[in-house]
Structure 1
Amino acid sequence: MKPKFVSISEEIIDRIKTGELQPGDKVPSENDLIKTYRISNTTARKSLLEIENQGWARRIKGKGTFVLNRTVGHHLIRTLGSINATRRGFHESLIAEGFEPHNVVLEKTVLDDGISSEIGGKHFIIGGPVLKVHQLRYADNEIIKDEIRYISLSLCPKINRMPTEISYFKTYETTYHLRIDEVKQTLSTEIVQPGSEIDNFELSAATAMFILDSAVICKDGQVVEIERSFYRGDKYKFAISANPDYHDA
């Protein structure tokens, strides 16, 4: 008969294999396991250690144990429509998945006149002043994302003084106490040629890119952020999270 901690670890690994737990997701904590399986803290700790020893997850001190990225070619999986995934942020997600992230800021400036963008057939406007942050995102010394964000300085004063590694979404909620009502996102594709005007990836061959346009909208209808980002098509896969809206018959 298998030890209890082995059975529990196998059950959680099965949830990872089936995709129920995605790379970067948090696996159940010691306390969660103790409550669910009615086990001791020693058995719970052994279960998490077994998952980690088998290479399915890694523990980050003070934060928890997270599913590692073991997809073929280490494709990064990002979920559209998931507030939790958006809240976690790029930097934190890469660390949780076992990558080493860093950023190179190409531009960080204040636009006095504001910005507008069409997303999904609708225009979204942020009145000035607006912070523009254009940065390249790296995973293990490889550029995987070219990101431009426009952020309302009226709603988020002095956010331009914060480091660009932060989760902006989480900062809107926790630092500026904004109630986010909706995130509008559209995904398109484009082939980027090496040396072209939009090639910030140091490409050696024509490469397919995902282009994500998004707007973060507060409860009162004000737009706090507009983003346009290029993701390397050979490094990313996108999933969609759909939450059914049930109505009484």
Structure 2
Amino acid sequence: MINHNSSVPMYLQISRQLSEAIQQGEYNPGDKLPSESTLCQQYDVSRITVRQALNLLIQQDMAFSVHGKGTFVKPPAINHELNKIISFSRVLQQKGLKGHTCIQSFSPEFQDEAAQSRLGGTVSNLNLIGYATHTPVVYYRSFFPPDIGQRMWQAAKDAEQSGNAFSTYDLYARIGVDMFRVEQSIGAVNADSGLAQVLELPKDKALIVLESVYYAADGSAMEYKLGYYRSDIYSFHLQRQL
């Protein structure tokens, strides 16, 4: 409870109590915090006071809001090394986070000029959503030559059944294909309505885009991938020598 007669503003008292509950593990990363109406009843305060308390948690980088769904505990920042390829599951493990990956869609034939140009012909498309706990943190759009795409889709379905986190990088061993090298570049975009819905973000929120092309030993391109990462959670690190 809070002290309504205290000189400390009520919204600050509520924010501190919620912050302590998060730090003590009563709410885990990705968990939804009580609704505004629930907090109003619990603390006997106005909706404006509750919103001030929740907004303070957001400002302190402890929570984030999803329009129409509520306020959620924010996972800790995820730092991804670019010096070498690291699997999505390994990145989460390094932060002590559990996660999982879901297949959003698969198309055996897909029209995409950029992918067709890089892969040299008809392409298939596999889209995956990677979660840290219950929070979507990355959206992968992968394109393959059709024969590899079918095998990757089957491998993805098998991996999804395990309930673990994975990306297409983890699937190559499952289909018996060796990667030789990868070329990557980093950019940024503002989330359109589709990306905002997938990653549960406000429209126009900034996203990090990692563009990758995977090559086989014979020099042929096996995969063209766009990874859309939540900039409020994800960051990339690269160590360069002088």
TM over 0.5: yes
Q: TM-score scaled by structure 2?
A: 0.55
* Equivalent residue number for residue 224 of structure 1: 222
- CA 1:95–1:73 in 2, change beyond 3 Å: closer, same or farther? closer
- Range that drifts further, 199-208 or 181-190: 199-208
Flag structure 1 segments of 5+ consecutive residues without an equivalent: 1-71, 245-249
1:201 to partner: Cα distance: 1.7
Q: Secondary structure at the match of 1:215?
A: strand
2:176 equivalent to 1:176: yes
List per-residue Cα deviations over 1:119-152 (Å, max 9, x = no partner).
xxxx522533x44211221101111111111133
Compute the TM-score of the two structures, normalised by the length of structure 1: 0.54
Residues 117 and 80 of structure 1: CA distance in aligned 2, closer, same or farther (over 3 Å): farther
Structure having the higher strand fraction is 1
Residues 79 and 116 (structure 1), Cα distance of their counterparts in 2 relative to 1, 3 Å cut = same
The answer to whether residue 199 in structure 2 is matched with residue 192 in structure 1 is no
For 1:79-94, list aligned pairs within 5 A: 79-83=81-85, 85=86, 89-94=87-92
Matched, 1:236 2:230: no
What are structure 2's unaligned runs of at least 5 residues?
A: 1-73
List structure 1 segments (4+ residues) > 4 angstroms apart after TM superposition: 112-115, 164-167, 241-244
Higher share of residues assigned helix = 2
Q: CA deviation at 1:214?
A: 0.8
2:125 is matched with 132
Q: Which residue of 2 aligns with 1:75?
A: 77
Instruction: Look up the match of 2:151.
Output: 158
AA matched with 2:76? H
Give aligned pairs, total. Answer: 161
- Report the 3-state secondary structure (helix = DSSP H, G, I; strand = E; otherwise coil) of the residue aligned with 2:199: coil
Cα root mean square deviation, aligned: 3.2
Give the Cα separation in 1 of the matches to 2:182 and 2:114: 16
CA 1:127–1:141: 2 relative to 1, 3 Å: same
